[in-house]
A and B are shown apart, each in its own frame.
Chain A
């Protein structure tokens, strides 16, 4: 009768397998980062000065409770908003608002149609988004997203023209390495196409 040796299972490779798994999970695990569309709400002040704004400097976007869209009284789709908003902001049909005793200047960086019936200057162009209380939030976010995209695209274009870099890249660089030089550039782009969005009282 052959005596069987009480042989041990070789456990030497177990540690390797465990490490392999550990590394796999380390690499694939993502801590989900919260991201979203950032908005700054307008401050509430007691005395709001009366300002007269020309009709042509306002892009009216109205959305009803059936998620249907009107832009300047025309029925459109969400995908059209970006183009319409860009055409409106970049129109440059007139002069900018006079600032610090300096008279208004025409927009020298706009590539728009210079239509006198549309907005005067990017710094004057206001986008008004009126929604209904019954509009779904998804629709609302989509519109906000398209407006944001329009501004970003315009800033990108101007940035490429002036600095041969995209605006997003400038922002990314600024986050990694905030320098005064970059800040000046970013502020210039932001001031050239400032986001002026107003949200009137919703339709009841």
Chain B
């Protein structure tokens, strides 16, 4: 009789050894795909000029960034200015700076820096207009964002 008696086979335990690996995989996926950018660019990504005498921008929380570049639509010519998530006119820059100032503590306002990230093909006229607007409202600390390098010839 024992011949027909089926041997009771238990279900083999599922190995949990691979569980940490799955978790790690997820971790990697997020590590690779995460970018530390706060704003989505509505203009073409500016190609920053190269400069050798650069200073690092301290206190990231006190930096407001202005992007200058060409529109994504090739039919539209001229330089476009973007702050946060919208394209604005030069005359709206003071409003943007005031809004940025309102978010900071009062004693920090004088340490605020405006970083201009402009494409190297942009016109100086646009940049000078921005500078004039910043001067008007006493936002005097400006940084022209560049990549560090010695090949200055690539700028023009």
Minimum C-beta distance from A188 to chain B (A): 20
**Additional A-B contact list (9), CB under 8 Å, known A40-B142, A137-B127:** A11-B15, A14-B17, A35-B145, A36-B51, A39-B143, A134-B124, A135-B124, A138-B155, A141-B146
Size of interface on B: residues with Cβ below 8 Å to A: 56
Q: Specify which chain A residues have a CB less than 8 angstroms from the CB of B122 in the assembled complex.
A: 136-137
Q: Which size bracket describes the interface of A in this complex?
A: 35 or more
Q: How many A-B residue pairs have CB under 8 A?
A: 160
Residue B141 interfacial (CB < 8 Å): yes
Known: A37-B51, A41-B135, A148-B53. A135 touches B21 (CB 8 A): no
**Cβ of A135 and Cβ of B123 under 8 Å apart?**
yes
The A interface is mostly helix, strand or loop, or mixed, namely mixed
Closest Cβ of chain B: how far from A175's Cβ, in Å? Answer: 9
- Contact segment of B55-63, B81-89, B97-105: B55-63
Residues of chain A within 8 A (CB-CB) of B128 are 131, 133, 199, 202
> Does B123 lie within 8 Å of A136, measured CB to CB?
yes
Check B108 for interface membership: any CB of A closer than 8 A: no
Residue ID in chain A nearest B155 by CB atoms = A138
Given known A18-B20, A134-B125, A202-B124, contact A36–B135 (CB-CB < 8 A): no
A/B interface sample: 23 pairs, CB < 8 A: A6-B12, A12-B17, A14-B18, A21-B24, A22-B27, A35-B145, A35-B148, A36-B57, A36-B146, A37-B144, A39-B143, A44-B138, A132-B125, A136-B124, A136-B155, A137-B119, A137-B124, A138-B120, A140-B124, A142-B152, A146-B152, A149-B53, A202-B128
Q: Are A152 and B123 closer than 8 Å at their CB atoms? A: no
A38 interfacial contact with B, CB 8 Å:
yes
